[in-house]
Chain A
Amino acid sequence: MALEEPARDVSGFEAAVHAESGRLFAVAYSILRDPQEAQDAVQETMELAWRSWATLRDPAKRSAWLRQICVRRAIRTRRRLLPRLWLADTSEVHRQLPEEPDLELDRCYLRLSRQQRAVVTLHYQYGYSLDECAALIGCQPGTVRSHLARALASLRKELSYE
């Protein structure tokens, strides 16, 4: 009995990595604001995708599936104490923001919960409806509305907009 690895479309996976990982990193970084953690989230997402690649039969739905997994990983992953084995040789992560950072807002944003950050960034930056945010994050639509209202109220208060 021959032992064969389950058939997987390696070239398709590599193409997806090239096509999707940048976008996934942007989403994860927008939520986490930590390049290393964002990279971890993307890596875990693609690991999961690789394990499931043969079952992701509809390429049109892969992007949405990857985005959903990445968002949830970004929200729920715990920061690791040690670097991942195959990221041990990671070169210096880019830490330069494309423009002058808004340090005051950054400080307030980081005080929000990850769920709140996810809703704010998915809704305002990526244009998802709140129902879509709920589906992406995996919670009730009412919870998303609550997260958004609390996040905005917190930011406005911290930044003295009200």
Chain B
Amino acid sequence: MSKRDEFDPRLKAYLNRGACMPPPAGMKERIIAGADRRRTNWLMQVGAAAAILVLAIGLGIAVRQARQTVGVGPTPTPVETPGKPTPSPTPTASVGPHPLLPPDSMHAINATTAWAAGSGTNQIIRTTDGGAHWDNVTPTSARAGTWITYFLDANNAWLASSLQPGSGSPDFSVEIYRTADGGRTWQHVGQAAADQGWPASIDFVDRTHGWLFMRLGGAAGSDGAAFYGTVDGGSSWSKLSEADTSGNPGHLPLRCSKSAPVFLNAATGWIPGGCNAGGGPFFYVTHDGGRTWNDTAITVPAGFSGNCICSIVSLRFSDARNGVFVLTDYSSGKLPQSVIYATGNGGASWQPGPSLPAQTYEVFFIDPSHGWTIDGKASNSILSTSDGGQHWSTVGTIPSTQGVMDLQFVNATVGWALGSEPTGNTLIKTSDGGRTWTTQLSR
């Protein structure tokens, strides 16, 4: 066994030791006792509130009596008997730290206009001068919580706000806000009455047809999800489908992890993802707007096992007919291999194409020929292709110390990246096809 081959077993042994670490003695009992104590504290708080109320009433009476004592009225007003204390409002569950999801996002519309949003700051910003200035277009009256955004074009955008996950609130509804004037004004247009989960993405293909993709929780090998749809711009929402274990045709399965869906038009969309334990890639399609979903049989490339540990990412259409995604094989014993799939017929069929360079996993194509990818190993080096991924060349490096969360180009020269730093997120722009990058916003 070569020294390199010794790394994996050593790492796995180390991780296994960590996972075998026994919990401290009495931890469970302390957690339960803590919950009991919280209950007791709750009762004490209620008692304290009632005591303060009674004390306040008593004090008020005393003051009133004192005033009457020194007053000029000839006849003291009879002392009022303290009535039944007004009940304190039932304490509501404290809203915990939210959001837990960091759905930082950006969407470059063209060379001058771009949007960005960060749930961590509950802030939406927009530029119309190529990033020289960013305006805060945050809807100040929108409900705080987990914010998911979708930016359709320079003027139209939607915001979905949820108290989930992790707030402790029993409210699972998703409030929908919309702007049609570039964020100058926002309207609360509707609510998706979800009964569980939290929004992972909101998508629109035009000003009226949209979808809310709700995550319902997952475990190794399964991933709960539900779809809500609107046909009136977000005013009304109806539940379209939910993952289950029935195995019935048209049902979205609970198994396998699911990434955010991508819709091509009001009828057709895909959910990419991957399945654990050799389940192969996950790629389901709907042709009725999200009501029914069926497996798209993807032919894995030569050399890939049909039951590979694979996942599909970077699904994107550059126009109504042309689109790409990346299939990556994570099967053990070798470095991950990524292959570009392309369609030229609106997703009716997908053909495997060239492989991506090692340590690159996601792509962004502006047309069937021109695309970019990031070398995740070599300090965020960016590579570009002009022949559909047949050949790649390193063009520059994106300055981000903790990785690049998103990369988008609007033409062959102008692009933005969403970087990650210990202090927060950065917006980074290139105007020369990726050769040089300038950090525009650093928080």
Complex alpha-carbon distance, A35 and B27, angstroms:
11
Q: Which residues of A contact B215 (CB under 8 A)?
A: 135
Q: Which residues of A contact B352 (CB under 8 A)?
A: none
Complex alpha-carbon distance, A105 and B101, angstroms:
31
Q: Which residues of A contact B15 (CB under 8 A)?
A: 30, 120-121, 124-125
Contact with B along A4-22 (1 / 0, CB 8 A): 1110001001100110011
Complex alpha-carbon distance, A113 and B422, angstroms:
10
Q: Which residues of A contact B377 (CB under 8 A)?
A: 149-150, 153
Contact with A along B418-438 (1 / 0, CB 8 A): 001000000000000000000
Whether, in the assembled complex, B404 has its beta carbon less than 8 Å from a beta carbon of chain A, the answer is yes
CB contact under 8 A between A54 and B170, given known A124-B12, A141-B313:
yes
Is the Cβ of A69 less than 8 Å from the Cβ of B100?
yes
Is the Cβ of A145 less than 8 Å from the Cβ of B361?
yes
Whether, in the assembled complex, B218 has its beta carbon less than 8 Å from a beta carbon of chain A, the answer is yes
Whether, in the assembled complex, B275 has its beta carbon less than 8 Å from a beta carbon of chain A, the answer is yes
Chain B at the A interface: SS class: mixed
How many residues of B are in contact with the other chain, CB < 8 A? 85
Chain A's closest residue to B224 (CB) is A61
CB contact under 8 A between A127 and B220, given known A48-B166, A149-B376, A149-B377:
yes
Contact with A along B18-30 (1 / 0, CB 8 A): 1111111111101
Is the Cβ of A57 less than 8 Å from the Cβ of B196?
yes
Is the Cβ of B218 less than 8 Å from the Cβ of A135?
yes
Contact with B along A89-108 (1 / 0, CB 8 A): 01111100111011001100
A101, A153, A161 interface centre (most CB from chain B within 10 Å): A161
Q: Which residues of B contact A51 (CB under 8 A)?
A: 93-94, 96, 168
A33, A63, A129, A161 interface centre (most CB from chain B within 10 Å): A129
A161 to B: closest C-beta gap in Å: 5
Which residues of A in the span 27-58 have a Cβ within 8 Å of any Cβ on B? Answer: 27, 29-30, 33, 35, 38-39, 42-43, 46-48, 50-52, 54-55, 57-58
Is the Cβ of A130 less than 8 Å from the Cβ of B7?
no
Complex alpha-carbon distance, A106 and B87, angstroms:
56
Complex alpha-carbon distance, A55 and B222, angstroms:
21
A85 to B: closest C-beta gap in Å: 9
Whether, in the assembled complex, B31 has its beta carbon less than 8 Å from a beta carbon of chain A, the answer is yes
Is the Cβ of B42 less than 8 Å from the Cβ of A5?
yes
Q: Which residues of A contact B4 (CB under 8 A)?
A: 156, 161-162
Whether, in the assembled complex, B124 has its beta carbon less than 8 Å from a beta carbon of chain A, the answer is no
CB contact under 8 A between A50 and B35, given known A3-B88, A125-B19, A161-B3:
yes
B24, B26, B218, B402 interface centre (most CB from chain A within 10 Å): B24
18 contacts between A and B (CB under 8 A): A18-B28, A29-B18, A30-B15, A35-B24, A38-B21, A39-B24, A68-B165, A69-B165, A86-B37, A109-B14, A125-B12, A125-B15, A131-B259, A135-B215, A141-B362, A142-B404, A149-B359, A159-B7
